[in-house]
Chains A and B, each alone.
Chain A
Amino acid sequence: MDAALSKNGARVLRVFFALVVLFLYAPIVILLIFSFNKSAVPSFPLSGFTLHWYHEFLVNGDLRGALETSAIVALLSSLGAVALGVVASLALTRRRFHGKSAVSALLLSPLVIPYVVFGISLLLLFHTLGVPRSLLTVVIGHIVITLPYTILVIVPRLDQVDVDFEEAAADLGAGPLQTFRLITLPLILPAIVSAFLIAFTTSFDEYAVASFVVGSRLTFPIYLYSALRFPSQLPQVIAVAVVVLLISLTVVIAAELGRRIVERRLERAPS
């Protein structure tokens, strides 16, 4: 007898699980259906199949520009966050120092700050310093909020990697940078890649903080938010939504499966 769950209990939970998954994916499927719908208003009855809205958004220069801007912002901020996250994680796992728990609490604290509070704080800072709002100010904000995610992904991986490898390299005369490049980096690469992807997708999608510090070049979420106020733009926004949602779902699932395969291989390799 299973102590946790009876046969019937398991059956009920399986049905419940399926219903929740249905609830989670139904809105995405509904968007998918209406993105091919002829009518400019997303409502029943369906009025026929068209690729018009996809074509509309492909030729919409503002929209493409916004996607491009977001890609640049996300790339810069995820590279920045991963770089800072790696050195911070190395310090947290490989060094002993006073106040480590306070330092790690500070490094993770952007996780809990309400974005509206952080957004206005950054706005006040840039006003005070006289820094004009631009892509750079968005990148600065995004590095702050994605840094904790990179640390949360990289620290556990560093904990798994045997310190003996690094010490052996150091004993054989490798400098700290060389040890990192030849030993540590390859071993934590899967975690670095998934940290990068998490930071990238977070930044690409981030609206709240960006809305306070964005300049004249709009990021994709900011563009999307303003487009939502014009019903005439809705159908092509739905088409974009479908494309972005499907791409991000694919990337997320591929990245997670890939990371698990690579890590399993790395774990097997030394033995």
Chain B
Amino acid sequence: MAVAEAGTAAAPPRRRRRRLSLATPSLLGVPLAWLGVFFLAPIAIVAAYSFDVYSLYPGTHGFTTAAWHDFLHSPVYLRLFWKSVQMSLIVSAVVVALAYPLAYYLALSGTKRKYVLLLLLIAPFLTSYLLRVLAWKVILGNQGVINSFLFWTGMRSPDHPISQLLYSRFAVMLVLGYVWLPFVALPIFVSLESMDRRLLEAASDLGASRLWAFFRVTLPLSLPGVVAAFLFVFIPTLGEFVTPSLVGGASGYMYGNQIVDLFGTGFPDWETGSVLALFLLGVVAALTVVFSRFLRSGQAAVG
């Protein structure tokens, strides 16, 4: 570095070029090394574990696809995965459908306080996740806020609380939807906000009704935002294990819980756990790649 600077003092035009080529590795070095050691290497270890190339348990180990074979032929794990996919799909679809009108209102109604309202909408998302789940645990329980309110007002007898509220698939989906709803409006808002509003005026001048203009102009143009929003919910909820373990009970048990249990203290099976984890990662990575292509081509078409 010192040599480079001493050498460049005499020749200013050359200095900048040389600084460029020297500085890039020194800027990127630490962040990339960090991710290499603490992000990519750990995933590689899980991959090695899933093929039994590597193990922390004593005994003979060698490359085998046995754990993968068992997994792909196990109705239990695949059915659980499919159940989690269904739950995440429903949550994502409902949440996106609810968020769309919110984003539409903020972006296109001409309200002056749109950024304040947007902040009001998103702020809960930026507060504690665990505490928002806790709130629902307090609300939904058999002796919780809803049931005790019903007993108190005499609308329901204390012997028969609505017991499906907590520890059910419904509870998991409700809480996940509640947690993600504020965030989902954001990408849709951004895509609606960046839309050229003259297109709508043109459509209306050419005789299109508002509804027709919405389906032919607004919706297609905001589709990249909708897809992004959908993925932002679908990907994290698919691997979710915290919410189901708090409000899901047995019927709300998800694929992520299975992974945790395989690495847990009961009957640990790290090899199978690695297979499940890697499979989930593969699905998520494939989705991300496919849809980021779609989003980029969408942007190119719009832009």
Residues of A within 8 A of B (CB): 1-6, 9-10, 13-14, 16-17, 20-21, 23-25, 27-28, 30-31, 34, 41-45, 84-85, 87-88, 90-91, 95-97, 103, 106-107, 109-110, 112-118, 120-125, 127-128, 140-141, 143-144, 147, 167, 170-171, 175-176, 198, 201, 205, 207-208, 212, 221, 224-225, 228, 234, 237-238, 241, 244-245, 248-249, 252-253, 256-257, 260
Contact = CB atoms under 8 A, between A and B. Distances in A.
B123 A249 contact: yes
B80 interface: no
5 contacts: A44-B151, A103-B28, A114-B284, A120-B263, A252-B127
B213 A221 contact: no
B269 interface: no
A140 B134 CA distance: 27
Interface stretch (B63-71, B163-171, B195-203): B195-203
B152 interface: yes
A207 B241 CA distance: 11
B239 A120 contact: no
Interface in B268-293: 270, 273-274, 277-278, 280-281, 284-285, 288
Given A43-B147, A175-B5, 16 more contacts: A5-B108, A17-B101, A20-B181, A28-B135, A41-B143, A43-B143, A45-B152, A85-B31, A87-B31, A88-B28, A91-B28, A114-B236, A114-B284, A118-B39, A147-B35, A257-B119
B119 A127 contact: no
A211 to B, nearest CB: 8
Interface string B142-160: 0111011101100000000
Contacts of A6: 210
Interface string B85-125: 00000000000001001101110111000010101110110
A90 B15 CA distance: 18
B281 A113 contact: yes
A31 B123 contact: no
Interface residues of B, number: 94
Interface of B: 5, 12, 15-16, 19-20, 23-24, 27-28, 30-32, 34-35, 38-39, 41-43, 45-46, 49, 54, 56, 98, 101-102, 104-106, 108-110, 115, 117, 119-121, 123-124, 126-132, 134-139, 143-145, 147-149, 151-152, 178, 181-182, 197, 200-201, 203-204, 210, 213, 218, 235-236, 238-239, 241-242, 246, 256, 259-260, 263, 270, 273-274, 277-278, 280-281, 284-285, 288
Contacts of B28: 87-88, 91, 97, 103
B130 A122 contact: no
Given A207-B129, A237-B134, A252-B126, A123 B235 contact: no
Contact of B277 (A106, A112, A121, A252): A121
Given A24-B182, A28-B124, A120-B46, A10 B56 contact: no
Contacts of A3: 197, 200-201, 203-204, 210, 213
Contacts of B134: 31, 224, 228, 237-238, 241
B241 A121 contact: no
A13 B109 contact: yes
Contacts, number: 256
A115 B280 CA distance: 11
Contacts of A237: 134
